[in-house]
């Protein structure tokens, strides 16, 4: 959308309906490793230290690829329902 | 945004700048298991069948929680850079 820089200030305009539902055309990762073409992480599961480790799927974690609980704030702010992937050693 | 239903059709309007970057207020999961408050999955890593298994973090996979490659289409459509978490047995 650009304001016309010349011409009449009095005009009719088409309506613009903004759909902000995370559908086509809207990215899901605002900030993480944006210099990378595709953010892929690998976990060697035999090297997991703890019985349970949570990995982020909301792209809001300050400790990505680990989950730091930021999905809670994201879900509250947006009405979304995302959560982590839990890796269990047994 | 609503078109005024009464009054002059000739008016100045404020500009609306639409930021569609997946920031605050926009969910990232359009469709997956929307009846659940929070979509959390657990993987018992000792039960992984293959040397390499990809888990979805784009919320677009038809085989969620597994990755089916749908992140490629999502990234192309939006300019995003998301990808899966790879679990490796060694
Ligand atoms: S912080 Fe992203 S899923 Fe928990
Ligand atoms: S299909 Fe979602 S990360 Fe690959």
- ipTM summary value: 0.78
- Is A51 an 8 Å CB contact of chain B? no
- For residue B83, pLDDT over 70 is answered with yes
Ligand 1 is surrounded, with C-beta below 6 A, by: A 56-58, 60-61, 67-71, 83-84
Q: What angle do CA A45, A49, A50 make, to 5 degrees?
A: 100
Regarding predicted confidence, which is higher, A77 or B7? A77
H or E stretch at A17: none
Structure confidence by residue, pLDDT tens digits, A15-72:
665 545 444 568 999 999 999 999 999 999 999 999 999 999 999 999 999 999 999 9
The catalytic site residues of B sit at: 38
Measured between CA atoms, how close is A18 to chain B, in angstroms? Answer: 8
Q: Are A8 and B11 in contact (CB under 8 A)?
A: no
Q: Which pLDDT score, from 0 to 100, does residue B12 have? A: 58
For chain B, the first-to-last Cα distance in angstroms comes to 54
Q: Which pLDDT score, from 0 to 100, does residue A26 have? A: 87
Closest atom of ligand 2 to CA, residue B61? 1
Whole-number Å distance, alpha carbon B70 to ligand 2 midpoint, is 5
- Is A40 an 8 Å CB contact of chain B? yes
Structure confidence by residue, pLDDT tens digits, B40-55:
999 999 999 999 999 9
Contact list in B for residue A22 (CB cut-off 8 A) is 22, 26-30
Q: What phi-psi label fits residue B32: left (phi over 0), alpha (psi between -120 and 50 degrees) or beta?
A: beta
pTM over 0.90: no
Q: Are A57 and A85 in contact (CB under 8 A)?
A: yes
């Amino acid at each position: 959308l650009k304001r016309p820089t010349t011409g009449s200030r009095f005009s009719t305009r088409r309506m613009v309906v903004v759909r902000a539902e995370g559908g086509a055309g809207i990215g899901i990762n605002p900030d993480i490793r944006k210099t990378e073409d595709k953010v892929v992480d690998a976990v060697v599961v035999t090297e997991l230290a703890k019985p349970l480790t949570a990995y982020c799927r909301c792209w809001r974690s300050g400790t990505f690829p680990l989950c730091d609980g930021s999905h809670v704030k994201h879900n509250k702010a947006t009405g979304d329902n995302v959560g982590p992937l839990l890796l269990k050693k047994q």
